[in-house]
Chain A
Amino acid sequence: MAANVKVMRRPELTFWEKTYLPQILSGLKITSAHFFRNLFLHAAHSVGLLKHIPAAVTFQYPEILRPLAMRFRGRHRLTVRDEGTPRCVGCMLCETVCPAKCITIVAGEHPDPNVEKYPVRFDIDLGVCVYCGYCVEVCPEDAIRMDTGIVDIAAYSRGAMQLDIHELMNPKLRKPLTEQNCTLKFPHECRLTPGHVKGDWNQVYGDTQSAPK
């Protein structure tokens, strides 16, 4: 046997330890201490006392949300300019970088020559999305973010997992959506009214004369 091998012998239990009783009792001591502490706190909470000391480490989920980390990646949103149009310039970088290929953008011409393009259609299929955050990283315009803090992304069908530009620009919208949910003024492929391109730049900028040239 090599000189530096150290043989660890299994420690012999004393008679008292072999009866299991000390360990059982110390275990019961720990659990009972928690039990009576929490019972006392629950009782105090029920009459409105000691509310600042929590009796349970759990959160009552749908009513109380756990605090999320600053960098948590939740449901996406499209950031919005002052006049209510998306900051997105339709550069297709996010659609290109997306490893799950869940983003679909159809770009249109923006009346402002400095902007050039904007998304007529911007869809994200959350059923395919892997929440990697690359779209946020790659965006040169800070147009897409994942900071909504929405974590309960679940649906009964694959179709209901597909977000379009309405839900991306207004994270408060939840399915099912109706035509009344469409508040977008710029021309977009409105999937709430199938097949129609709705909206007009006049509604955004008053009339075409005052629109930025």
Chain B
Amino acid sequence: MEDLVIKLVLAGIMFFGVLNLAGLHTWIERKQSAVMQDRIGANRADILGFTVLGLFHPIADAVKMFTKEDIVPEGADRVLHTLAPFFSVFFALVAFAGIPFGDHVVWGDRVIDLQVAKLDAALLYIFAMLSLGVYGVILAGFASRNNYALLGGLRATAQMISYEIALGIAIIGVILVYGTLDLQELVRGQGTYLAGGWIPLWGIVVQPVAFFVFLTAALAETKRVPFDLPEGESEIIGYFVEYSGMKFGMFFLADFLETILVACLTTTLFFGGWQVPYLMPDGFHFPWGATIPLSQWTYVLLGVASFSVKVLAFCWLFMQIRWTLPRFRYDQLMRLGWLGLFPISVVNVFVTALVLTFF
């Protein structure tokens, strides 16, 4: 019973953070692009005269989405058409269960890992959920009974399957180095130090090539610019062309959720997850000899804060990339995936394996 309550609380914290961040992403997207492009951005929605930097726009968006007419095209498969956006959001949301967002807390005689589902193969679980997310997309394209939507769905499927391979092989290097599929253990493994304790042994230090391959492939998985061929809002119209109202909003939400998930994964795999440099469970141990003792709760909270900051930084980076680069052409996309990232990731796995075997 108590276990259930603890898990529910953990899930609640994760959901609260993730869903709010996803909602805020609509605001971040508008404001960040505006600031980059010397504009102001959405700033008109107000409650009683207060605009608060346009922060009420996500609320206005939600109200708009919920009150808009929900259109199911004639001849469409009603069940699948309704189910598709739920699939997209569901698989994007459940994947977060595997992300560790803090070290364990010792509470009485209990050791609580700050991870919703403590799975031995959390990494495989997350990738399985990411892969299942493609069902929402293909179903949306298929059930709309619109040829353009179907083409968009097929483009999305081809793209996601192609990049999943590079994505999966890129992380094999990380798994080889840390020797675990358990993300919590993987993050703990990144708490050791190189070069006399100066450089933390984060994934980016030992697997820089894998990091770039993973980042590129993961961006492609999120289906956002420069890999937004499935959607192509402005001209080639994608799989959700026949969706309106909150169903469309759910695809939008799934997009943002995937962006956050990818930011969480990048943080966990390559940037030490909740690790703070030089922070041990009993406080800071700097390589020049100084120490700052900290209580357990401070340590855990610092870890959660560190994880959040890193995730936010990656969200910022992804948004910056999204508003900087133009879209790939489809042949360029496939060439980059199959002839660029795939061989590089395979070579990376081989080199990593050789180095680990002989040194």
The interface residues of chain B lying within 8 Å CB-to-CB of A27 are 324-325
Query: Does B222 lie at the interface of the complex (its beta carbon under 8 Å from any beta carbon of A)?
Result: no
Q: Which of the residues B37, B321, B325, B340 comes within 8 Å of A34, measured between beta carbons?
A: B37
Distance in angstroms from B242 CB to nearest chain A CB is 33
Distance in angstroms from B35 CB to nearest chain A CB is 5
The interface residues of chain B lying within 8 Å CB-to-CB of A58 are 38-40
The interface residues of chain B lying within 8 Å CB-to-CB of A19 are 340
Query: Does B36 lie at the interface of the complex (its beta carbon under 8 Å from any beta carbon of A)?
Result: yes
Query: Does A110 lie at the interface of the complex (its beta carbon under 8 Å from any beta carbon of B)?
Result: no
Contact with B along A41-64 (1 / 0, CB 8 A): 010000000000001111010000
The interface residues of chain B lying within 8 Å CB-to-CB of A21 are 212
Nearest to B316 among chain A residues (CB) is A35
The interface residues of chain A lying within 8 Å CB-to-CB of B340 are 19
In whole angstroms, how far apart are the Cα atoms of A1 and B299 in the complex?
77
Query: Does B323 lie at the interface of the complex (its beta carbon under 8 Å from any beta carbon of A)?
Result: yes
Query: Does B144 lie at the interface of the complex (its beta carbon under 8 Å from any beta carbon of A)?
Result: no
Contact with A along B285-325 (1 / 0, CB 8 A): 00000000000000000000000000000000000110111
Q: Which of the residues A30, A39, A56 comes within 8 Å of B39, measured between beta carbons?
A: A56
Query: Does B275 lie at the interface of the complex (its beta carbon under 8 Å from any beta carbon of A)?
Result: no
Query: Does A93 lie at the interface of the complex (its beta carbon under 8 Å from any beta carbon of B)?
Result: no
Query: Does A173 lie at the interface of the complex (its beta carbon under 8 Å from any beta carbon of B)?
Result: no
Q: Which residues between 26 and 40 of chain B lie within 8 Å of chain A, taking CB atoms?
A: 32, 34-40
Q: Which of the residues A31, A38, A55, A57 comes within 8 Å of B324, measured between beta carbons?
A: A31
Is B325 in contact with A24, judged by CB distance below 8 angstroms?
Answer: yes
Nearest to A30 among chain B residues (CB) is B324
**A side interface size, CB within 8 A:** 18
Nearest to A24 among chain B residues (CB) is B325
In whole angstroms, how far apart are the Cα atoms of A56 and B34 in the complex?
9
**B side interface size, CB within 8 A:** 15
The interface residues of chain A lying within 8 Å CB-to-CB of B39 are 56-58
Query: Does A197 lie at the interface of the complex (its beta carbon under 8 Å from any beta carbon of B)?
Result: no
The interface residues of chain A lying within 8 Å CB-to-CB of B212 are 21
Distance in angstroms from B163 CB to nearest chain A CB is 15
Is B321 in contact with A28, judged by CB distance below 8 angstroms?
Answer: yes
Nearest to A54 among chain B residues (CB) is B38
Q: Assuming A28-B320, A28-B324, is B40 touching A35 (CB within 8 A)?
A: no
Nearest to B340 among chain A residues (CB) is A19
Distance in angstroms from B38 CB to nearest chain A CB is 5
In whole angstroms, how far apart are the Cα atoms of A71 and B340 in the complex?
57
In whole angstroms, how far apart are the Cα atoms of A38 and B35 in the complex?
6
Is A34 in contact with B38, judged by CB distance below 8 angstroms?
Answer: yes
Is B35 in contact with A42, judged by CB distance below 8 angstroms?
Answer: yes
Q: Which of the residues B38, B40, B320 comes within 8 Å of A32, measured between beta carbons?
A: B320
Nearest to A18 among chain B residues (CB) is B340
Nearest to A62 among chain B residues (CB) is B44
Q: Which residues between 47 and 92 of chain A lie within 8 Å of chain B, taking CB atoms?
A: 55-58, 60
- Interface centre among A21, A24, A31, by most chain B C-beta atoms within 10 angstroms, is A31
Nearest to B344 among chain A residues (CB) is A19
The interface residues of chain A lying within 8 Å CB-to-CB of B34 are 56
Is A31 in contact with B38, judged by CB distance below 8 angstroms?
Answer: no
Q: Which of the residues A24, A28, A38, A60 comes within 8 Å of B38, measured between beta carbons?
A: A38
Distance in angstroms from B80 CB to nearest chain A CB is 38
Nearest to A20 among chain B residues (CB) is B336
The interface residues of chain B lying within 8 Å CB-to-CB of A57 are 38-39
- Interface centre among B34, B36, B212, B320, by most chain A C-beta atoms within 10 angstroms, is B36
The interface residues of chain B lying within 8 Å CB-to-CB of A60 are 40
Is B40 in contact with A31, judged by CB distance below 8 angstroms?
Answer: no
Is B40 in contact with A56, judged by CB distance below 8 angstroms?
Answer: yes
User: Which residues does B use to contact A, with CB under 8 Å?
Assistant: 32, 34-40, 212, 320-321, 323-325, 340
Q: Which 9 A-B pairs have the closest CB atoms?
A: A31-B324, A38-B35, A35-B36, A27-B324, A57-B38, A31-B36, A56-B40, A58-B39, A34-B36
Cross-chain pairs A/B with CB under 8 angstroms, 12 sampled: A19-B340, A24-B325, A28-B320, A30-B324, A34-B36, A34-B37, A55-B35, A56-B38, A57-B39, A58-B38, A58-B40, A60-B40
User: Which residues does A use to contact B, with CB under 8 Å?
Assistant: 19, 21, 24, 27-28, 30-32, 34-35, 38-39, 42, 55-58, 60
